[in-house]
Amino acid sequence: MRNLPHLLPLLLALVLPAHGQDTEPASWLPGGNLFPPLIAPTVEPRAGMLVLKDVKRLRLDIGRSVDLYAFPTSDDGRTEVTAGADFFTWTSLRQADDFHFPVDAVDYLFGINFNARHVIDDVSALSARLRISHISAHLVDGSYDKLQGAWRNGQLPRVYSREFFDLVCALQWTPSLRVYAGGQYVYHIDPADLGRSSLQAGAEYSIPIATIPWLHPYAAYDFRLAKLHAYAANHTFQAGVKAGEWNGRGLNIFLSWFSGTSDHGEYYDARWTSWGWGFTVDL
């Protein structure tokens, strides 16, 4: 993220409210996420596993996003602004015999984020998240066939990295429904001839159960129009149930379906269609 040190003063100037007598004080480590991670998109902070049935792969997610600082805001408490950090990986593992799972490819993301939320009324709120992040991707030894002395399927390791801005705006229509839209601009990418922009939209809906308030059946869909050499559509659908807090700690068990360009950088030019089941633990 070579340009990040030069961008920080400008970003802080944009998000820091003016200090005055009618502001709430700033605080470190406010707890939770002012902008909860999106459910369906593949490049989001989470901790869990997804078993992909038709391609005999597993996806392992390790990491999270943490709000580190809450900026001073108006004393009515309707508007909040935070800054945080993202550190997470998503890993592709092959399903082999005897319960072995060789690691095929791994992607790393780290960066910073700025979040804002404004309460409209008792049930609705507007929110936004700006991420400035770096991603790098790598093939791992599970992609190498030691007996053949060659990389599997002729897939050679290649350099893949990108630094980007990612902005998502969301409307919390009701406590059970969130709709969102946004886009991404990559300001540095290797290979350099790849596309630099994408658009995104989606929705998340949980079904309230009055008699079991801690159980949340839900469905989520994400659409992304991403450009590599040309624009192509990515679709991700997830449906499941969460035990715990809907926008907080809990355990998700779900079914997922994905169709689009691979979310692993080493396979950036491959299109995958897969479905599976999985779980995540929201901390």
Q: By percentage, how much of the chain surpasses pLDDT 70?
A: 91
Q: Is residue 19 part of a domain?
A: no
Measure the CA–CA gap between 218 and 270, rounded to whole angstroms.
30
Alpha helices in the chain (DSSP H): 4-15
Q: Is residue 267 part of a domain?
A: yes
Reply yes or no: is the peptide bond before residue 25 cis, omega within 30 of 0. Answer: no
Q: Is residue 108 part of a domain?
A: yes
Q: What does the block give as tokens for 37?
A: 């991670």
The CATH number given to whatever domain includes residue 254 is: 2.40.230.10
Q: Is residue 255 part of a domain?
A: yes
What is the residue range of 188's domain?
A: 4-12+26-282
Q: What's the whole-model pTM score?
A: 0.87
Q: Is residue 18 part of a domain?
A: no
Q: Is residue 123 part of a domain?
A: yes
Q: Is residue 20 part of a domain?
A: no
pLDDT tens digit sequence for 81-117: 999 999 999 999 998 877 788 999 999 999 999 999 9
pLDDT confidence of residue 2: 52
**Exposed (0-12), middle (13-18) or buried (19+): which is 80, by Cβ within 10 Å?**
buried
Q: Is residue 21 part of a domain?
A: no
In the numeric block, the tokens 């790849």 are attached to 194
Residue 51 CA to its chain's centroid (Å): 18
Structural domain count of the chain: 1
**HSE-up (13 A, CA, CB side) for residue 210:** 0
Q: What does the block give as tokens for 277?
A: 């089941």
